[in-house]
Amino acid sequence: MMAKRPLNIALIGYGFMGKTHSNAFLQAPRFFDLPYRPVLKTVVARNAERVRAFADTWGYESAETDWRTVVDRPDIDLIDIASPNDTHADIAIAAARAGKMVLCEKPLGRTAAEAQAMVSAVEAAGVANMVWYNYRRVPAVMLLKSLIEEGTLGRIFHYRAQFLQDWTIARDLPQGGEGLWRLDASVAGSGVTGDLLAHCIDTALWLNGSIAEVTAMTETFITERTHALTGQMTPVAIDDASAFLGRFQNGSLALFEATRYARGHKALYTLEINGEHASARWDLHDLHRLEWFDHRDEGRLRGWRSIHVTDRDHPYMNHWWVPGLQIGYEHTFIHQFADFLTGLGAGTPIPPTFRDGLATDCVTDAVLKSAKTRQWEAPAAHLNVA
Ligand code: SOE
């Protein structure tokens, strides 16, 4: 058994993501043998009463209401940013300057320029950093990554991804405020492009390499909503739907779509990749399965097979129950944090790093730009992942 060094964590933000991260901090050391022992030191959010309650529920030693009082505290090793997008850059840059490790919810910045400043800060300070693009850590998606890396699919022709939801269709839903800051462009940066398409792009860059160019369209279906903070009817500046065609550097074609207006779909993230020898597809609503077709199979038996990715030799699964029993959404965060701590022990950066998060922001910027210019746009090339 390795000696466990304490790692003192300050979490900023206590919404949905604050819970997924806190759960990961608690569970990762219970299921993985890690070189660090996470210590839930403090949680920060504006509402004093509710942040206190959150601290009690999740076992944080203290609760604070201003991240500035925490960011350079000598007893804090790691700042984890799970607050709305407009806070990411200020907190990350201050934390890096104070020499803290920084984890950040996606998207890294509201724009690539914001993300670039965050990358510069963590790289100048030489501090460990990671962005919570959690879907890379689904065992079935990780299995697909290894099949691609082994060259099993051969030359890649197509990559397509969708992220479909339906929770913002109601006209009386306000913009701004808790949870609904995602509808306020000044806080979120963009709508589904930064929130949902960004997930699809992050996974795609990781699985299939850089995107060379895109041509996109976006739409805002409900153009005015009451603002939660002012009570005034205010123009909506986010994109409700976003789609693009593109070309990867490896020559394969990209077809991507994200929307919050696909009635009946709650979080239907699907991806498919078609190669010379094989195809694979994956679906977040059935996340423990990888659909696989291999043309090299014997002709009479050739067909799509559905792999239940729950066996001991599947990624991460030897840390969980017994073969055949499924895990779920929260485990993706546990895996990501376990990988981060393992990397920290070995001195190895764990992707997606801030630089990888920047690469995704470069693509989302190009998508938004193309939707405006109605031209093909190239994501800022020098910022793409290798
Ligand atoms: C939006 O509804 C949302 O919660 C995103 O913000 C998350 O990143 C995504 O994983 C699920 O949907």
Indicate the residue among 87, 106, 132 that finishes a domain.
132
What average pLDDT is seen over the chain?
97
**In the block, residue with structure tokens 């022992």:** 37
Q: Is the pLDDT of residue 136 over 80?
A: yes
Together in a domain, 177 and 273: yes
Taking the centre of ligand 1 as the mean of its atom positions, its distance from the CA of residue 113, in whole angstroms, is 23
Determine the 3-state secondary structure of 193 from DSSP: helix
* Alpha-carbon span 295 to 302, nearest angstrom: 7
Instruction: Give the residue-averaged pLDDT of 184-193.
Output: 98
* Alpha-carbon span 347 to 325, nearest angstrom: 33
Instruction: Count how many Cα atoms sit within 13 Å of the Cα of residue 93 in the half-sphere of its side chain.
Output: 12
List of residues 6+ apart from 79 with CB closer than 8 A: 10, 12, 67, 70, 71, 91, 92, 95, 100, 101, 102, 103
Taking the centre of ligand 1 as the mean of its atom positions, its distance from the CA of residue 286, in whole angstroms, is 17
Together in a domain, 91 and 203: no
Where does the pLDDT of residue 1 fall: very low under 50, low under 70, confident under 90, or very high at 90 and above? low
Cα–Cα distances (Å) from 74 to 30, 69, 78, 158, 352, in that order, read 27, 11, 11, 49, 27
Taking the centre of ligand 1 as the mean of its atom positions, its distance from the CA of residue 257, in whole angstroms, is 15
CATH number for position 148: 3.30.360.10
Q: Which residue type occupies 266? A: K
Atom of ligand 1 nearest to the CA of 260: 2
Atom of ligand 1 nearest to the CA of 167: 2
Together in a domain, 124 and 181: no
378 falls within a domain: no
What residue spans of the chain are helical by DSSP H? 16-31, 48-58, 88-97, 112-125, 139-149, 185-188, 192, 198-208, 329-346, 354-373
- How do beta strands 268-275 and 278-283 pair? antiparallel
Report the domain count for the chain: 2
Does the model's pTM come out above 0.95? Answer: yes
Where does the pLDDT of residue 198 fall: very low under 50, low under 70, confident under 90, or very high at 90 and above? very high
150 falls within a domain: yes
Together in a domain, 292 and 349: yes
Taking the centre of ligand 1 as the mean of its atom positions, its distance from the CA of residue 195, in whole angstroms, is 6
Together in a domain, 230 and 247: yes
Q: Cβ(202) to ligand 1 under 6 A?
A: no
For the four alpha carbons of 258, 260, 263 and 266, in that order, the dihedral sign comes to positive
Q: Is the pLDDT of residue 383 over 70?
A: no
Atom of ligand 1 nearest to the CA of 134: 10
Taking the centre of ligand 1 as the mean of its atom positions, its distance from the CA of residue 203, in whole angstroms, is 15
CATH number for position 49: 3.40.50.720
149-164 tens-digit pLDDT? 999 999 999 999 999 9
Indicate the residue among 115, 132, 149 that finishes a domain.
132
For the four alpha carbons of 134, 140, 144 and 149, in that order, the dihedral sign comes to positive
User: Which of 162, 182, 195, 261 most suits a substitution to test ligand 1, by most atoms within 8 Å of the C-beta?
Assistant: 195
56 falls within a domain: yes
Taking the centre of ligand 1 as the mean of its atom positions, its distance from the CA of residue 201, in whole angstroms, is 14
Together in a domain, 333 and 225: yes
Which residue CA neighbors atom 11 of ligand 1 most closely?
Answer: 267
Which residue CA neighbors atom 9 of ligand 1 most closely?
Answer: 196
Which residue CA neighbors atom 8 of ligand 1 most closely?
Answer: 195
Taking the centre of ligand 1 as the mean of its atom positions, its distance from the CA of residue 151, in whole angstroms, is 31
Together in a domain, 44 and 143: no
Taking the centre of ligand 1 as the mean of its atom positions, its distance from the CA of residue 137, in whole angstroms, is 15
Together in a domain, 118 and 163: no
238 falls within a domain: yes
* Alpha-carbon span 234 to 226, nearest angstrom: 6
Together in a domain, 278 and 164: yes
27 falls within a domain: yes
Token representation of residue 372 = 């405006």
Taking the centre of ligand 1 as the mean of its atom positions, its distance from the CA of residue 183, in whole angstroms, is 12
Give the model's pLDDT for residue 3: 73
310 falls within a domain: yes
User: Which of 19, 166, 196 most suits a substitution to test ligand 1, by most atoms within 8 Å of the C-beta?
Assistant: 196
Together in a domain, 102 and 204: no
Q: Cβ(180) to ligand 1 under 6 A?
A: no
DSSP conformational letter for 167: T
384 falls within a domain: no
Instruction: Give the residue-averaged pLDDT of 358-366.
Output: 98
Taking the centre of ligand 1 as the mean of its atom positions, its distance from the CA of residue 266, in whole angstroms, is 10
245, β-bridge pairs: 215, 255
Indicate the residue among 88, 106, 132 that finishes a domain.
132
382 falls within a domain: no
Q: Cβ(195) to ligand 1 under 6 A?
A: yes
Give the model's pLDDT for residue 386: 37
Give the model's pLDDT for residue 178: 84
Where does the pLDDT of residue 2 fall: very low under 50, low under 70, confident under 90, or very high at 90 and above? low
Which residue CA neighbors atom 6 of ligand 1 most closely?
Answer: 195
Q: Which residue has the higher pLDDT, 142 or 2?
A: 142
**In the block, residue with structure tokens 């030799």:** 313
Domain that residue 180 falls in: 135-373
3-44 tens-digit pLDDT? 799 999 999 999 999 999 999 999 999 999 999 999 999 999
Together in a domain, 127 and 103: yes
Which residue CA neighbors atom 1 of ligand 1 most closely?
Answer: 195
Q: Cβ(377) to ligand 1 under 6 A?
A: no
Left if phi > 0, otherwise alpha if psi is -120 to 50, otherwise beta: which for 147? Answer: alpha
213-246 tens-digit pLDDT? 999 999 999 999 999 989 999 999 999 999 999 9
Together in a domain, 60 and 160: no
Taking the centre of ligand 1 as the mean of its atom positions, its distance from the CA of residue 99, in whole angstroms, is 30
Q: Cβ(267) to ligand 1 under 6 A?
A: yes
